[in-house]
Structure 1
Amino acid sequence: MVCLDVNFRSRLWDAEEAASVLRAWAPSVDVLIASNDELPLCLPADAPADPTARAKQLLALGVGEVVVKLGAAGATAYGEDGASVHAPARPVRAVDTADAGDTGGAGDAFVAGYLSAFLDGAGTEARLDRAVRTGAFAVSSRGDWEGAPTRSEPALLSSPAGTVLR
């Protein structure tokens, strides 16, 4: 399985260079994880603005599953079958970081949660639920990895699981 966490950093390369590489990789990816503003880097220049349309375009290119991180709005996973699953963000008190606007490893924690649930054999809904929970732990502690939860801790952020959309 190939998972691509876009995780674009403009300090490392410019958007044009990143887009040429990511667009070439996309058809070989089984699971693509990105924020909505990163999705255009994986698509042709005329990509739509709507996250659902962007995800469907990536699926048509051969990506197996597209997971879109939506920050405080949660996240949505889109599968080959056309179904999508949305999980709301978990309400937590975010810790101030030295870099204003930095979410202190939330994206990395999100991906770790998603992939750990995948390796546990969980379905899309459970994978997405674990991802948003581990991301919530990251923003509620100082540092990039210091708030990473143990296996039992994500259950502390109890909330309904993701809602299946059609």
Structure 2
Amino acid sequence: MSGLLTFGETMGVVSAEGIGALDHARGFTFGIGGAESNVAIGAARLGAPVTWLGRVGDDASGDLIARRLRAEGVAAVVIRDPSFTGLMVKHRRTGALLTVDYHRAGSAGSRLAPSDVPADAVRAAAIVHVTGITPALSDSARAAVFQAVETARAAGVTVSVDVNYRAKLWSRFDAAPVLRDLVARADIVFAGPAEAALFVDGPPLDGLAALGPAEVVVKDGARGCTALIDGERHAVAAPDVAVVDPVGAGDAFVAGYLADRLAGAQPAARLATAIAAGAWAVTVPGDCEGLPTRADLAALASATDDVLR
């Protein structure tokens, strides 16, 4: 293989319809979600060759994950595990506050191990992408991430890291040294300002770059992004869009950047695609359902009306 290789936990996602406390919800939708699989689907929709690897339970949620990834054109290496597929529950407590709860302790995805990630697949990839979520799941999952990263580095394969700190999975004190070590091994790093502040001092771009990555991208939501890529600084504003569901926007951003990098685009073009992909994703409910295609991004860029005819 060549292209993008990523791995981690993908979960079933239960989303309450409407706004208000969960106990008053009367309708729900069920989908899939997970940072790494969101990136995989997003990059595949933009034309990149992508492989995702992970453990899922031998249950209906695991079946759905396998089908959905393969239907999206992702080469999914699905390892069946006797434990259950993890679950995410989302509800919009108010119009401005989305709450996400996890049910993943002891899940199939948390049982990922170094032996699950073949060294040959890592060496054959153009980019290996990992997140700071997987090391929080278990000791074996953390070992899998660091082993894959070291294998990639030894083979000259580009390592991409999205910090993706999740306070519900581990404390900032436990996370900080692990995330710092992971970023120090990366060629490309993505982080939000608050995430960077967990383990670097001063301006996030400079602090992250000082750890070693040649490509540092700070995602800042509706404020757009800043980047320091091979010594050159960039700043890109985000377009003004109506936010329906912010979950998955950061993954869409990463997918856009990595897909363009694989296609040989220059840094400014990569960042423009990333910003557009993130903006598109927030306008649609779901973790991965609204990830855009190239045609979607072109429509966003050229739209002068709210109806396409």
Residues 204 and 218 in structure 2, CA contact (< 8 A), matched pair in contact too: no
CA distance in 2, matches of 1:17, 1:84: 31
Which aligned segments of 4 or more residues in structure 1 are displaced greater than 4 angstroms? none
Shift of 1:146: 1.1
Alignment of 1:3-152 (within 5 A): 3-43=160-200, 47-48=201-202, 53-81=203-231, 83-95=232-244, 97=245, 103-152=246-295
CA distance in 2, matches of 1:144, 1:89: 20
Residues 236 and 272 in structure 2, CA contact (< 8 A), matched pair in contact too: yes
Greater RCO, CA 8 A, separation 6+: 1
Shift of 1:156: 1.9
CA distance in 2, matches of 1:37, 1:125: 24
Shift of 1:110: 0.8
Shift of 1:42: 3.7
Deviations 1:63-121, CA, capped at 9 Å, x for gaps: 1111001111111111232x2111110111111x5xxxxx1210111111111111111
Q: SS of the residue aligned with 1:152?
A: helix
Larger radius of gyration: 2
CA distance in 2, matches of 1:155, 1:14: 41
TM-score (norm 2): 0.45
Q: Please identify which structure carries the higher strand content.
A: 2
Aligned residues: 145
Q: SS of the residue aligned with 2:165?
A: coil
Shift of 1:54: 2.4
Q: SS of the residue aligned with 2:291?
A: coil
Shift of 1:2: 0.6
CA distance in 1, matches of 2:230, 2:210: 9
TM-score (norm 1): 0.82
What amino acid sits opposite 1:79 in the alignment?
I
**Percent same amino acid at aligned positions?**
45
Residues 32 and 66 in structure 1, CA contact (< 8 A), matched pair in contact too: yes
**Cα distance 1:4–1:156, how it changes in 2: closer, same or farther (>3 A)?**
same
CA distance in 2, matches of 1:115, 1:59: 18
Q: SS of the residue aligned with 2:208?
A: helix
